[in-house]
Amino acid sequence: MSFSIRLSSEEKGLAESYARLHGVSLGEAFKQALFERIEDEYDIAVAAEAYAEYERSGRKSRPISELWKELDL
């Protein structure tokens, strides 16, 4: 699949500089950026759901110092 996007000359220059800096083609730079963004947003959504589940469970956290004391560390 291929697609095209419109960039201003300033945006194109910035994107080309980024691609050169990382030694990849312009298309590869956009592809990497897109999938990194997708992964980041997925990770945030998974973390938010895990935290919500933790809150619903009623469990409470405790200071690490308590664990160290319990383990005689």
Q: What is the pLDDT of residue 28?
A: 96
Task: Tell me what the pLDDT averaged over the chain comes to.
Answer: 95
Rounding to the nearest 10 degrees, give the CA dihedral for residues 40, 18, 10, 4: -70
Q: What is the pLDDT of residue 24?
A: 98
Q: What is the pLDDT of residue 47?
A: 98
Residue 3 has pLDDT above 90, yes or no: no
Query: Would you list the domain boundaries of the chain?
Result: 9-70
Per-residue pLDDT of 15-49, as tens digits, reads 999 999 999 999 999 999 999 999 999 999 999 99
Q: What is the pLDDT of residue 1?
A: 86
Burial (CB < 10 A; 0-12, 13-18, 19+), residue 10, is exposed
